[in-house]
C-alpha cells in the first residue's frame, strides 16, 4: 500500500511539474527566444504575474489549454514568431522535467510550491470550477532553470524576493548591509554635535565705558577764544545771527544796458578815460572794402616766418578758460579782445608800454562767452554772446554794454551778421533753434524763431558773398540753410554734410569767396569741402589728420580761415613742443608757430588779423599769446 501510494504521489508530482512548465512557456511567449536549459538565466522585462486556471488530467487535450485573452492580444506578434518551435520545445521540456534529477526534488520544495499555489488561488476565487479533482496549476515566469535547481529559492527567508533575479537579490542584500553599516557609525549624531560645536555665537556687545566727569576737578585746558571770554575772564556777548542768503550759482545780470566798469582798473582814473578815448578814435578809422587777392604761397610762408612771440606779447587777460578771441581790424594799434568761461570780456592794447596798464576786464555776462566779434559797420562796437541767454554790444564811445537780445529760457551758442551793416543777426541756440534778430527794432526779442532739424547747434556762419545762405554745425551733422525758406515749425536744410562720425566743433565758410568749408571733428580730422556751387551735394576735397582730442579741461579746437589767405586754415595743436599750425586746403602743412619758453600751453582758440600778419591765441587759463612781426 505504501509503495503504491508513493508511486501515485510521484506521478501526480510529475504531472504538476509538467503542467507548470507548459504554463511557464505560455506566460513567457512574449520573449522570442527563451531557453529552458539548466544553467542559463533569462531576465524578463516585465513584472511576473500569476494566473489560475482549472485543469483536469482526464479531460486534457493539447489544444484545449489557452492563456488569457489579454495576454494573447498583447503578445500576438510574439506568439506567431514562436508558434513553429512550440511543439518541439514542449517535448524537450517534458523530457528534462522527467529526468531523475527533477524526480529527486525534495518534498520540502514540493510543499513550498503547493503552498504558494494555494495562496495564489485564493486571489482568483471568483472563478467557477466544474470538477473538485482538478489540480491548481501555478503559471510563474521563471528567471532561469538554474534558479529552479538551487535550494536558495526555496528557503522560507527569501520568499519576498522569489520574483527577483539573483543579481537584484544580491544588490538588495548589499544595500541592506551598507545601510546597517552606516547606521552603526552614527554619522547623523556626530554631524549634529559638530554643527553645535562650530555654530557661531554672537559676541556680547562691548560698550565703551564713558569716563566719569569730574564735577569739581579741572578739565582739559582750552583757549580763551574758544571759551569766548576776554583775558579778564568776562564772557563775550554772543554775535548777532546773520541771515542766510542762498545765492544762485550763475545769477543773470539785470536787463538793460550795463555801465562799462573795469574790474581791474579804477573807472575814474585818467588812464581808463584815455583808454576809452583811444578805442573810440581807432574805431572811427574807415575800413575800405577792397577786393583782396590771394598772396603767393611762397610770399605767404615768408611773412609767417617773420612772426615771433616774446614775453611782452603774452599776458593773462581773463579769469578762467578763453572761449573766444577777436582782433580789432585797426591798422594802427593792436587791440585784442577775449571772451572767458567766467563771463568776462577782456581787452588788451599791445601798443601800450606797460602790459598791466593796457589790460581792462569787464563782466557783461555770467556764463561763458562763446562768440565775440567786432562790428563790421562800426569797429567801436564789440558784440558778445553768452550761454546765459544774452547778447550785448559794447559801445566804447558811450562806455556801456547795450543789451541786443535776451532769452532767459534758452542758452545761446553762436551768432553772425546777416548783412554788412550789422543790423541783422542770426543766433544759434544749444537746443537747436535759430533766431533772427533785427537791432533796429525796439526791444530785446527776436523777429523770428525757427526750429531747425538739428538737436544742437554749436556754430553759425553766414556765406560772405551770398548772405542768404548760412551753415550750422550740430552734434554730428552740418546743414546749409537758406534764410528765404525758413519755416518756424520745422526747416529742412538745403544740403547736409554727413561724412562726420563723431561730435563736430565748428564749420566755417572761407572768408573771401565762400568757395570752401572747413570743419573740425572729434574724430581727429579736419575736412575741407568744395562749396563753390551750392547744390544738392558738396564734395569733400581734403581730409587732414590732426589731433583734436583736447580732453575735459581744455577748450575744444576750432579750425578757422585766415582772412588774408582763404585757402589756409589756422588751428591749435596738442603736439610737443606747443605750437599753432597752419594748413593749406590741399592738406599740406604751411607753417608751425613755436614760442619756446613763451608758448608752453595749448592755444585752443586762435584768430588772424584781417589785413596784418598778427596771430592771437587763447589758452585755458586766460592767457593771450600774440605772434606778430
HEC string for 374-419: ECCCCCCEEEEEECCCEEEEEECCCCEEEEEEECCCCCEEEEEECC
Which distant-in-sequence residues (6+ apart) come within 8 Å of 328 by Cβ? 282, 283, 334, 335, 336, 337, 374, 379
Work out the average pLDDT over 127-138: 37
More confident site: 31 or 490: 490
Fold of 258-285+326-554: Methylamine Dehydrogenase; Chain H (2.130.10)
Q: How far is CA 354 from the centre of its chain?
A: 55
Residue 123 predicted with pLDDT over 80: no
141-145, 425-429, 475-479, 574-578: lowest mean pLDDT where?
141-145
Q: pLDDT at residue 508 above 70? A: yes
CB atoms within 10 A of CB 247: 5
Integer angstrom CA distances of residue 194 from 186, 203, 241: 13, 20, 67
pLDDT at 234: 80
Task: Residue 460: name the closest of 432, 438, 440 by CA.
Answer: 432
Helices (H), 98-221: 100-103, 107-123, 145-149, 166-185, 187-198
Look at residue 219 in the predicted model and tell me its pLDDT. 59
Whether residue 117 is predicted with pLDDT greater than 90 in this model: the reply is: no
Asked if residues 130 and 54 have their Cβ atoms less than 8 Å apart, the reply is: yes
At 32 the pLDDT is 41
In three-state secondary structure terms, 308 is strand
User: What does the block give as the cell for 450?
Assistant: 525757427
Model confidence over 540-583: pLDDT tens digits? 999 999 999 999 899 999 999 999 998 999 999 999 999 999 99
Residue with cell 566743433: 505
* Dist. CA 134–CA 492, nearest whole Å: 110
What is the CB-side half-sphere exposure of residue 19 using CA atoms within 13 A? 23
- DSSP per-residue letters across 486-540: --SS-PPPSEEE----S-EEEEEE-SSS--EEEEEETTTEEEEEE-SS-SS---E
Asked whether 390 and 344 are in contact (CB, 8 A), the reply is no
**pLDDT of 244:** 57
- List the single range of 81-95, 153-167, 382-396, 450-464 with lowest mean pLDDT: 81-95
**Sign of the alpha-carbon dihedral angle for 220, 223, 228, 230:** positive
Predicted pLDDT of residue 544: 96
Model confidence at 272, pLDDT cuts 50, 70, 90, reads: confident
Residue identified by cell 527776436 is 446
Q: What number of residues does the chain have?
A: 629
Beta carbons of 624 and 615 less than 8 angstroms apart: no
pLDDT for 425 beyond 50: yes
pLDDT, mean of residues 474-479: 90
What does the longest C-alpha to C-alpha distance in the chain come to?
Answer: 166
Q: Is residue 472's pLDDT more than 50? A: yes
Residue for grid cell 523770428: 448
CB 624 within 8 A of CB 315: yes
**What is d(CA 57, CA 283) in angstroms, rounded to the nearest whole number?**
145
Give the mean model confidence (pLDDT) for residues 264-273: 76
Assigned C-alpha cell, 319: 579769469
Burial 174-209 (b: 16+ CB within 10 A, else e): eeeeeeeeeeeeeeeeeeeeeeeeeeeeeeeeeeee
CA pair distance 362, 345, nearest whole angstrom? 5
Distance CA 44, CA 29 (A): 11
- Report the range of poorest mean pLDDT among 64-68, 122-126, 420-424: 122-126
Q: Is pLDDT at 263 greater than 90 in this prediction?
A: no
**pLDDT tens-place string over residues 204-256:** 666 666 666 665 555 577 788 888 888 777 887 877 766 655 545 667 888 88
> Which stretches of 186-227 are assigned E, i.e. beta strand?
none
- Residues 46-56 have a mean pLDDT of 49
pLDDT of residue 296: 87
Q: For position 186, what pLDDT does the model report?
A: 87
Task: Give the model's pLDDT for residue 215.
Answer: 57
> Model pTM greater than 0.75?
no
Q: Where are the domains of the chain?
A: 258-285+326-554
Nearest residue to 475 via CA among 453, 451, 508: 453
d(CA 460, CA 429): 10
Do the beta carbons of residue 325 and residue 350 sit within 8 Å?
no
Task: Give the model's pLDDT for residue 537.
Answer: 85
Helix (H, G, I), strand (E, B) or coil at 447: coil
176 pLDDT band (50/70/90 cuts)?
very high
Top mean-pLDDT range of 25-39, 102-116, 200-214, 413-427: 413-427
Range of 101-115, 199-213, 486-500, 586-600 with top mean pLDDT = 586-600
Residue 177: all three cell numbers together: 548591509
Q: Tell me what pLDDT residue 187 has.
A: 87
pLDDT above 70 coverage of the chain, percent: 67
Judged by average pLDDT, the poorest of 91-105, 153-167, 265-279, 356-370 is 91-105
Q: ∠ at Cα 624 (580, 363), nearest 5°? A: 140
Judge whether residue 462 has pLDDT over 50: yes
Structure-derived torsion over alpha carbons of residues 349, 353, 356, 358, reported in degrees to the nearest 10: -20
Burial status of residue 290 (CB atoms within 10 A of its CB: 0-12, 13-18, 19 or more): exposed
**Is residue 385's pLDDT more than 70?**
yes
Give me the mean pLDDT over the 161-186 stretch.
88
Closest Cα partner for 326 from 40, 626, 609, 20?
A: 609
pLDDT number for residue 540: 94
Cell numbers given for 27:
506566460
pLDDT interval class at 396 (50, 70, 90): confident
Indicate if the pLDDT at residue 69 is higher than 90: no
Provide the pLDDT confidence category of residue 116 given band limits of 50, 70 and 90: very low
For range 582-586, the mean pLDDT: 95
With a pLDDT cut of 90, the percent of the chain lying above it is: 45
Which of residues 418 and 45 earns the better pLDDT score? 418
Q: Output 390 or 215, whichever has higher pLDDT.
A: 390
Answer yes or no: is pLDDT of 126 > 70: no
| pLDDT band, residue 455 (cuts 50/70/90) | confident
Residue with the bigger pLDDT between 529 and 46: it is 529
Residue with the larger pLDDT of the pair 628 and 128: 628
Which of 66-70, 205-209, 436-440 comes out lowest in average pLDDT? 66-70
As a whole number, mean pLDDT of residues 109-114 equals 41
What pLDDT, on the 0 to 100 scale, is given for residue 548?
Answer: 93
220 vs 111, which has greater pLDDT?
220
Q: Are 608 and 304 in contact (CB under 8 A)?
A: no
* Mean pLDDT (the chain, rounded): 76
Q: Is the pLDDT of residue 61 over 90?
A: no
Dist. CA 266–CA 530, nearest whole Å: 51
**What average pLDDT does the segment 96-108 reach?**
42
116, 138 in Cβ contact below 8 A? yes
Residue 293: pLDDT band with limits 50, 70, 90: low
Residue with more model confidence, 533 or 148? 533
Q: Is the pLDDT of residue 11 over 90?
A: no
pLDDT at residue 158 is higher than 50: no
In this predicted structure, the answer to whether residue 534 has a pLDDT above a threshold of 50 is yes
Look at 510 and 112; give whichever has higher pLDDT.
510
Classify the C-alpha dihedral 255-256-261-262 as positive or negative. positive
**Cα–Cα nearest to 466, from 518, 415, 510, 520:** 510
Q: What is the structure's pLDDT at 287? A: 53
The cell numbers describing 148, all together, are 529552479
pLDDT of residue 559: 96
Eight-class DSSP state of 320: S
Q: Which range in 81-85, 242-246, 616-620 is most confidently predicted, on average pLDDT?
A: 616-620
Amino acid at each position: 500500500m505504501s509503495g503504491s501510494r508513493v508511486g501515485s504521489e510521484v506521478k501526480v508530482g510529475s504531472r504538476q511539474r509538467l503542467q507548470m512548465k507548459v504554463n511557464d512557456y505560455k506566460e513567457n511567449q512574449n520573449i522570442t527566444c527563451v531557453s529552458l536549459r539548466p544553467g542559463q538565466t533569462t531576465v524578463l522585462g516585465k513584472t511576473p504575474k500569476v494566473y489560475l486556471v482549472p485543469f483536469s488530467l482526464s479531460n486534457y487535450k493539447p489544444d484545449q489549454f489557452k492563456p488569457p485573452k489579454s495576454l494573447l492580444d498583447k503578445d500576438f506578434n510574439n506568439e506567431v514568431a514562436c508558434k513553429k518551435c512550440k511543439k518541439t520545445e514542449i517535448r524537450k521540456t517534458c523530457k528534462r522535467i522527467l529526468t531523475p534529477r527533477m524526480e529527486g526534488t525534495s518534498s520540502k520544495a514540493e510543499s513550498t510550491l503547493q503552498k504558494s499555489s494555494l495562496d495564489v488561488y485564493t486571489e482568483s476565487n471568483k472563478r467557477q470550477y466544474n470538477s473538485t479533482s482538478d489540480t491548481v496549476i501555478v503559471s510563474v515566469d521563471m528567471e532561469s532553470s538554474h534558479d529552479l535547481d538551487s535550494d536558495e529559492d526555496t528557503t522560507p527567508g527569501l520568499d519576498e524576493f522569489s520574483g527577483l533575479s539573483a543579481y537584484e537579490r544580491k544588490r538588495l542584500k548589499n544595500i541592506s548591509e551598507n545601510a546597517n553599516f552606516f547606521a552603526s557609525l552614527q554619522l547623523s549624531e556626530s554631524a549634529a554635535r559638530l554643527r553645535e560645536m562650530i555654530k557661531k555665537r554672537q559676541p556680547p556687545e562691548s560698550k565703551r565705558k564713558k569716563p566719569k566727569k569730574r564735577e569739581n576737578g579741572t578739565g582739559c585746558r582750552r583757549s580763551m577764544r574758544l571759551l569766548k571770554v576776554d583775558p579778564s575772564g568776562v564772557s563775550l556777548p554772543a554775535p548777532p545771527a546773520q541771515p542766510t542768503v542762498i545765492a544762485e550759482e550763475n545769477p543773470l545780470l539785470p536787463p538793460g544796458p550795463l555801465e562799462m566798469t573795469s574790474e581791474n582798473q579804477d573807472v575814474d582814473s585818467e588812464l581808463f578815460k584815455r583808454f576809452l578815448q583811444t578805442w573810440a578814435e581807432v574805431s572811427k578809422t574807415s575800413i575800405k572794402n577792397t577786393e583782396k587777392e590771394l598772396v603767393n604761397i611762397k610770399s605767404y610762408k615768408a611773412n609767417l616766418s617773420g612772426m615771433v612771440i616774446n614775453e611782452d606779447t603774452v599776458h593773462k587777460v581773463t579769469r578762467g578758460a578763453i572761449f573766444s578771441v577777436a582782433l580789432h581790424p585797426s591798422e594802427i594799434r593792436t587791440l585784442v579782445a577775449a571772451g572767458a568761461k567766467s563771463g568776462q570780456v577782456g581787452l588788451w592794447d599791445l601798443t601800450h608800454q606797460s602790459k598791466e596798464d593796457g589790460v581792462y576786464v569787464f563782466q557783461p555776462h555770467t556764463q561763458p562767452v562763446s562768440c565775440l566779434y567786432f562790428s563790421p559797420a562800426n569797429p567801436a562796437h564789440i558784440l558778445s554772446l553768452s550761454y546765459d541767454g544774452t547778447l550785448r554790444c559794447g559801445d566804447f564811445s558811450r562806455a556801456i554794454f547795450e543789451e541786443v537780445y535776451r532769452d532767459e529760457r534758452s542758452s545761446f551758442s553762436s551768432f553772425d551778421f546777416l548783412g554788412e551793416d550789422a543790423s541783422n543777426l542770426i543766433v544759434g541756440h544749444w537746443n537747436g533753434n535759430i533766431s533772427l534778430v533785427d537791432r533796429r527794432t525796439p526791444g530785446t526779442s527776436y523777429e523770428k524763431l525757427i526750429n531747425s532739424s538739428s538737436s544742437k547747434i554749436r556754430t553759425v556762419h553766414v556765406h560772405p558773398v551770398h548772405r542768404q545762405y548760412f551753415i550750422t554745425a550740430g552734434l554730428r551733422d552740418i546743414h546749409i540753410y537758406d534764410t528765404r525758406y525758413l519755416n518756424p515749425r520745422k526747416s529742412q536744410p538745403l544740403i547736409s554734410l554727413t561724412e562726420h562720425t563723431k561730435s563736430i566743433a565748428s564749420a566755417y565758410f572761407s572768408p573771401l569767396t565762400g568757395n570752401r568749408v572747413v570743419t573740425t571733428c572729434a574724430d581727429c580730422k579736419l575736412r575741407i569741402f568744395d562749396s563753390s556751387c551750392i547744390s544738392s551735394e558738396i564734395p569733400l576735397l581734403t581730409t587732414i589728420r590732426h589731433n583734436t582730442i583736447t580732453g575735459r579741461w581744455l577748450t575744444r579746437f576750432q579750425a578757422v580761415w585766415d582772412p588774408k589767405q582763404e585757402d589756409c586754415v589756422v588751428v591749435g595743436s596738442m603736439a610737443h613742443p606747443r605750437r599753432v599750425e597752419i594748413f593749406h586746403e590741399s592738406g599740406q602743412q604751411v607753417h608751425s608757430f613755436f614760442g619756446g619758453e613763451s608758448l608752453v600751453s595749448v592755444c585752443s582758440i586762435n584768430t588772424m588779423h584781417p589785413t596784418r600778419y598778427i596771430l592771437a591765441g587763447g589758452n585755458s587759463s586766460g592767457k593771450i599769446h600774440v605772434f606778430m612781426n
